[in-house]
Amino acid sequence: MFKAKNPIHPGLSIIIVGCGKVGTTLIEQLSKEGHDITIIDKDAAKVQEIASIYDIMGLAGNGASYKVQIDAGIEQADLIIAVTNSDELNLLCCTMATQVGNCAAIARVRTPEYSSEVTYLREKLGLALIINPELEAAREAARVLYLPTALEVNSFAHGQADLVKFKVPDGNILHRTTIANLGKNITSDILICAVERNGEVYIPSGDFRILAGDIISFAAPRKTAKNFLENIGFKTNHVKNIMIIGGGRAAYYLSKQLLQMGISVKIIEIDKNRCEELSILLPKAIIIHGDGTDQDLLKEEGIEYVESFVALTGIDEENILLTLYARQVSNAKVITKINRLTFKNVLNSLDLGSIVYPRYIASEAIIAYVRAKRNSMDSNIETLYHMFDHRVEAIEFRVYENSRVTNIPLMTLPLKKNLLVSFINRNGKVLIPSGQDCIQVGDTVTIVTTHTGFKDIRDILK
């Protein structure tokens, strides 16, 4: 075992099995939040490297082995998270852990056959959470394609409310409008929560003036978001057709959702066997066997005329080049899948449209669960999203009990700076709150803030 220098933490005791992309992302995030982490992976060199970088415990071995789990401290652990490349191994790790220790268990499961049985598997195996990064990435992409002027659409209140991110174009009516004037003259049914300008992120007050080029994130009930974008001059009809490059799991999940929405789907995939599988799995889609990076093939298949283009190959560099090419030859709404986060500044300077990061989508659901498990019982985290390169968090809390934040008008609550209460979901109705509104027991409350690590609704107070 490779031992950390400082194994004493105030947080949870967490074992992470698998040091791939998602595992490393979780280690990075959860170690920042002060948890006592032990990692298990078969690759001893990788374990030693990660353990020394993050100053955590590391063990080389099979995470499903009884002996390895005992050595890793499963009997004292609060949580095990299995994110190896094998669904079966992840499920076995978690099943073993719940039998041996008294801990919660989270498994990454990506195979479509298992994904359709998630509820059954979770209940029968006693798991806290089953996470599927590719399915969640596909859902995020589908939301954006349903509202193609958006760069990003994050869903809250069981899909009844959205946080929508878009860029203010030159000549738009929002240019030089203050937030206060927006509420008076255009609409009070939405709330501007965060603005990125020249690399800086702001949680705006009423006198903040919007400029062309700003990237804005606003909160709204789902139907209202579309109306607002139409009012400020955007076309909001969802796309009618899509070209997807790469026929992996994310492409399958996305195509299935889009076909149900009546959108025609064309997938270009280089592996002939996978093409045959997809033609059976997705009989209504057009499956093309060929190299998606071949310009002649792309033109032949109509890239210049498609309404949306999604690069979902397993190679980030390929996805980036494909998106840039689609931008050059078409007016398509583009979405780019990126797995690694190296050269972030370079990526931000490129016009890649909407970017989905499967590894971060997976880690956010797990971090939300971890924070909820760690907090008191006054409230619980329902949903968590990171925005603007992890500089902003949007968190949905469910309020269980009366506390210092309940039954007091928001205008008199001593809220922390750089924080907005963006919406309240009360008995299925989504409210964009005014200063007179109060948080009540039973509500879910979504806040947007540049602070990090909130675990409880009371954390919004100074």
Looking at the structure, do residues 281 and 195 belong to the same domain, yes or no?
A: no
Is residue 186 assigned to a domain? yes
Q: C-alpha distances in angstroms, 32 versus 4, 11, 25, 185, 423?
A: 15, 11, 11, 43, 28
Structure tokens at 441: 């027991």
Predicted confidence (pLDDT) at residue 1 exceeds the cutoff of 60: no
Looking at the structure, do residues 410 and 346 belong to the same domain, yes or no?
A: no
Structure tokens at 302: 């109509």
Could you tell me if residue 246 is left (phi over 0), alpha (psi between -120 and 50 degrees) or otherwise beta?
A: left
- Taking residues 400-413, report their average pLDDT: 95
Looking at the structure, do residues 127 and 17 belong to the same domain, yes or no?
A: yes
Looking at the structure, do residues 273 and 293 belong to the same domain, yes or no?
A: yes
pLDDT band at 6 (very low <50, low <70, confident <90, very high): very low
Specify the number of domains making up the chain: 4
Q: Yes or no: say if 114 and 135 are a contact pair by the CB < 8 Å rule.
A: no
Q: Which residues of 277-298 are buried (b: 16+ CB within 10 A; e: fewer)?
A: ebeeebeebebbbbebbeeeeb
- Nearest CA to 207 out of 232, 177, 228 is that of 177
Tell me the sheet residues that pair with 355.
336
Q: Which of 77, 111, 131 is the last residue of a domain?
A: 131
The CATH number of whichever domain residue 327 belongs to comes to 3.40.50.720
CA distance 84 to 244: 27
CA distance 268 to 220: 36
Q: CA quadruple 231, 233, 238, 244: dihedral positive or negative?
A: negative
pLDDT > 70 in the chain, percent: 96
The CA-based diameter of the chain, rounded to the nearest angstrom, is 66
Highest mean pLDDT among 61-70, 153-162, 338-347: 61-70
Tell me the sheet residues that pair with 195.
202, 216
Structure tokens at 444: 């879910």
pLDDT at 115: 79
- Taking residues 87-100, report their average pLDDT: 94
- Cα angle: 226, vertex 258, 158; to 5 degrees: 55
Is residue 44 assigned to a domain? yes
Looking at the structure, do residues 399 and 435 belong to the same domain, yes or no?
A: yes
Q: Yes or no: say if 243 and 193 are a contact pair by the CB < 8 Å rule.
A: no
Q: CA quadruple 392, 398, 403, 405: dihedral positive or negative?
A: positive
Report strand pairing: 354-356 vs 152-156. unpaired
Looking at the structure, do residues 342 and 385 belong to the same domain, yes or no?
A: no
Q: C-alpha distances in angstroms, 287 versus 252, 295, 315, 394?
A: 11, 17, 20, 38
CA distance 80 to 113: 23
Per this entry, what is the length of the chain?
462
Is residue 361 assigned to a domain? no
The CATH number of whichever domain residue 154 belongs to comes to 3.30.70.1450
Predicted confidence (pLDDT) at residue 341 exceeds the cutoff of 50: yes
- Cα angle: 427, vertex 429, 431; to 5 degrees: 120
Q: Which of 289, 323, 356 is the last residue of a domain?
A: 356
Is residue 238 assigned to a domain? no
Is residue 25 assigned to a domain? yes
Looking at the structure, do residues 125 and 142 belong to the same domain, yes or no?
A: no
Highest mean pLDDT among 5-14, 128-137, 343-352: 128-137
Residue 219, SS3?
strand
Tell me the sheet residues that pair with 201.
196
Looking at the structure, do residues 281 and 320 belong to the same domain, yes or no?
A: yes
CA distance 322 to 320: 5
CB atoms within 10 A of CB 75: 12
Looking at the structure, do residues 174 and 108 belong to the same domain, yes or no?
A: no
CA distance 309 to 118: 30
CA distance 56 to 154: 32
Q: What is the CA radius of gyration of the chain?
A: 23
As a three-state string, the secondary structure of 111-136 is: CHHHHCCHHHHHHHHCCCEEECHHHH
- Nearest CA to 363 out of 79, 54, 25 is that of 25
Least confident of 89-103, 106-120, 272-286, 367-381: 367-381
Q: Yes or no: say if 393 and 33 are a contact pair by the CB < 8 Å rule.
A: no
Residue 26, SS3?
helix
Is residue 239 assigned to a domain? no
Predicted confidence (pLDDT) at residue 4 exceeds the cutoff of 50: no
CA distance 397 to 417: 19
Is residue 4 assigned to a domain? no
Looking at the structure, do residues 254 and 318 belong to the same domain, yes or no?
A: yes
pTM exceeding 0.95: no
Looking at the structure, do residues 17 and 118 belong to the same domain, yes or no?
A: yes
Is residue 363 assigned to a domain? no
Domain hosting residue 398, numbered range: 372-460
pLDDT > 90 in the chain, percent: 71
Looking at the structure, do residues 287 and 351 belong to the same domain, yes or no?
A: yes
pLDDT digits over 110-167, tens only? 988 887 888 888 888 889 999 999 999 999 999 999 888 899 999 998 889 999 999 9
CA distance 424 to 432: 7
Q: Which of 231, 265, 292 is the last residue of a domain?
A: 231
